[in-house]
Structure 1
């Protein structure tokens, strides 16, 4: 059986031969080393032969700003009650979140040659909590991929934790939809719509604008408080994934 260094040298060569950028190879190797340091297992025992593991990855996503010409791009959004579930679904389909736009939508990329699943989590990172969250998640391979209001969204390739099981066997078609609302959000939206009509009738455009701004802020504060309270209740143990 090869040593750890031999295994990583073979993996590096296989990825380089597949045309994976050097920066991407370095990031992948660092993530895998971090995982092995936590699990205490040998790379071949955890991931199998290096050449097969490299092939199972199907290559890696190109670095931001350097997308492959054939890469698919897709932007979608969900409410705060449904975003983590949909991130899990779409991450399993190979969609990598590159960022969140100014409207809070998830801007995603998926290259057909990259059969790699992603896992995501959402954390409250407002104020002093930000440094604590980043300090705990980044060493575990989590990368901040977007922020919205008081939330930070983190991503990590599943191959870093699940080995070959984190690679996709096939790439599903791009979803048709762009908006994914939970039943709770639909009820709130209906109530909000009625309140907005009443506010517009009573106070005009200004009243409507105030209601919309206030309602959005209150929803964010409510869900953030719930998550922060949950975090305090489990403060004696490490952060647990939201997904």
Structure 2
């Protein structure tokens, strides 16, 4: 007996109705995180529809990050997505978050990044690339460009810490945000490999932030690629706000 019945008289396609039913199974815990879902043949018999209709609904949820297909093993429910607060991201890093260093390259010249940081095209910049881990799993690929003369010997810092803590603790620099941009993207194969993505292609949230010192001087331009199958962006407003 199913929790919901399909309405064959509805203008809404059956696969779209099934998608909603399957999402409800995930949200109510009927399909638990990490669990392999019922096989397509059994689902088609349960809902009395073709396997292609079931496949359409399942594929939609794979593309949306609710499910993951593992070759030879079946389709599994993804863990609940982590919330990324867009308004206070620098304060919302959980205590069990840490970083793995990929690269620190000082004295780089990049005219595009130089313009973002309001310096001359030949101003030496430092590129810092790291993978952020949350709960021991790779969650984001972070690339930050900094003005080298403001942060010399950056490699001597504790690279497991959030960048904002490093700049405040080691360089006595409090970073304020001038702007934040968010856009959906598809990860490259190299990015999927670094983030150990279970499926390909993988959608991601690209969060771009420009940080300035208290005197208004831009000094860091960061791009963070958060896995779309494990993260979502949320917006918070103050209670009683207008």
Flag whether TM exceeds 0.5 (same fold). no
**TM-score bin (small chain):** under 0.3
Larger helix proportion, structure 1 or 2? Answer: 1
**Given the two structures, how large is their TM-score scaled by the length of structure 2?**
0.27
**Given the two structures, how large is their TM-score scaled by the length of structure 1?**
0.27
